[in-house]
């Protein structure tokens, strides 16, 4: 079953119910840590925080490397 974040639903399909809130999940994460969670809408595979406490989202690249993007890069 596909999971969609509140932020994705608000931006792309406000009538669709969300499964989780990125900001609430990020509040559970300490800097330099992450939690695995998939948002099918945005395509990320984890929510984390960098060393400065900024929210970052992990994307799996085709070669299985992980690319981290800031929350603000994704939620425009």
Q: What is the pLDDT of residues 48-59, one digit of tens each?
A: 999 999 999 999
The candidate with the shortest Cα–Cα distance to 25, out of 9, 15, 16, 36, is: 36
Q: Kindly provide the b/e burial profile for residues 2-28, where b requires at least 16 CB atoms within 10 angstroms of the residue's own CB.
A: eebbbbbbeeeeeeeebbbebeebbee
Interatomic CA distance for residues 52 and 60, integer angstroms: 22
pTM: 0.93
Q: Which two tokens stand for residue 5?
A: 């974040």
Cβ–Cβ under 8 Å, residues 2 and 16:
no
Model confidence over 13-39: pLDDT tens digits?
999 999 999 999 999 999 999 999 999
């Amino acid at each position: 079953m596909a999971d969609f974040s509140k932020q994705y639903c608000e931006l792309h399909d406000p009538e669709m119910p969300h499964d989780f809130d990125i900001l609430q999940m990020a509040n559970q994460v300490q800097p330099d840590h992450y939690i695995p969670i998939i948002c099918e809408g945005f395509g990320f595979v984890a929510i984390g925080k960098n060393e400065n406490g900024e929210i970052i989202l992990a994307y799996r690249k085709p070669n299985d490397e992980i690319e981290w993007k800031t929350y603000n890069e994704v939620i425009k």
